[in-house]
Amino acid sequence: MSNDIRVRYAPSPTGLLHIGNARTALFNYLYARHHDGQFIIRIEDTDRKRHVEDGERSQLENLRWLGMDWDESPETHENYRQSERLELYQKYIQQLLNEGKAYKSYVTEEELKAERERQEKAGETPRYINEFLGMSEDEKAAYITEREAAGIIPTVRLAVNETAIYKWTDMVKGDIEFEGGNIGGDWVIQKKDGFPTYNFAVVVDDHDMKISHVIRGDDHIANTPKQLMVYEALGWTAPEFGHMTLIINSETGKKLSKRDTNTLQFIEDYRRKGYLPEAVFNFIALLGWNPGGEDEIFSREELINLFDEHRLSKSPAAFDQKKLDWMSNDYIKNADFDKVFALCQPFLEEAGRLTDKAAKLVELYKPQLTAADEIVPLTDLFFSDFPALTDAEKEVMAGETVPTVLEAFKAKLEAMSDEDFQPDNIFPQIKAVQKETGIKGKNLFMPIRIAVSGEMHGPELPNTIYLLGRDKSIEHIDNMLQSL
């Protein structure tokens, strides 16, 4: 394959970049880059009612954050927004009108609604019935004159060949076919406001931009036969189609819904929380595609090299937040410290915790981080009141040897100079308590950890004590001894 491969991501600027749309963009990107093809961004902004002012910027900004680049877009090319292409659509609509392959329809919304209700009551499949059916040419002309005199603005409908079979070999699902009679009758290609409908405009755009492969979600399968009708009517060759399976919630098994507030579904959310974009990129690439083998951590370059459209899954892709968090944690653990600190810095600053020990705090908790915003709750120990002990922690502190351990370690801390109070010098003091008391293992370390931090588990104990400070550590041990 070569530069003849041209794929596109064509979002509507109606909101933030959703994880499902991001996957569509990502698979198109990987396909283009793997085959040395072209990846194009086109904005489908003809739905003016749902248009969001900042929608286009959000889409492009978040795609860039994920690590994608593209060859053509509204930033570099004119008329890459549908709203800028109305003359082109009108040209082809007029062509179809002239050739008798489309016609102006004067039926009103009220009439359409009444007919749908009649069909439903009669148990019929709802469909548009050609309003000119059974009319003579004179009757047809009189009808049009009457409607136009009444100020009724027509739509334009494509005349459907109901006996035709529309079929294609899908890149993901194999052979698919639809009967023309099951489309629902002649359908609108131009609305009353003069804007084309999606299924017409997308064909003109894809043909004009020489799109070779259309890779999208399988919620578009029902649109494909309509688009094939337009290709046929205009005498154009259709691109290849590939429809990716839906993304489902791994916990409910249902389609991932924007109403599911328990799952982060917008790329903007991951940016704001301080996820590494490489981790989100990696995770999305495995939603409905399998590179083979057991490995799951891949760089962008590795994913481009490995991408094989034949390995796109035919089964629904499970969105597993826990897997994403595991993957993100792995990326953070292996990232350069400066990169992670830069991610954490704004959150620490907002919380008033950007102290001279901030870098040490990030270093301490870096292995535990899933996202940078977690640095604030993780460091509560050093900035908040001593926490209430759990029943399990109380049980540990009720041990017979606990006072002995705490008294001995408190004495060691008191004997340390400010200069000596460093993480590398604190661990030997704990070992010295072991030697003096003969108490070891969890009976040694656990009481010290709980007395100092109020928690049974956490980062390395010497680092925790150092960051808490000698005076505060001694104060916590004193308070614990008084409560025993």
Rg (CA), the chain: 32
258 is catalytic: yes
Backbone torsion region of residue 98, taken as left when φ is above 0, otherwise alpha when ψ lies between -120 and 50, otherwise beta: alpha
Q: Distance between CA atoms of 352 and 200, rounded to whole angstroms?
A: 55
Per annotation, catalytic residue among 113, 192, 258, 314? 258
Q: Distance between CA atoms of 364 and 338, rounded to whole angstroms?
A: 13
Residue 51 is classified by DSSP as -
Q: Distance between CA atoms of 208 and 199, rounded to whole angstroms?
A: 15
Q: Distance between CA atoms of 195 and 199, rounded to whole angstroms?
A: 12
Q: Distance between CA atoms of 77 and 42, rounded to whole angstroms?
A: 10
DSSP assignment string, 160-213: --TT-EEEEEETTTEEEEEEGGGS-SSEEEE-TTSPBPHHHHHHHHHHHTT--E
| Cβ atoms of 288 and 313 closer than 8 Å | yes
* Beta strands at 317-319 and 247-249: parallel, antiparallel or unpaired: parallel
Cα 106 to the center of its chain, rounded Å: 42
* Closest among 412, 417, 451 to 431, alpha carbons compared: 412
Place of tokens 């961004």: 41
DSSP assignment string, 273-298: HT--HHHHHHHHHTSSB--SSS----
The residues annotated as belonging to the active site are: 258
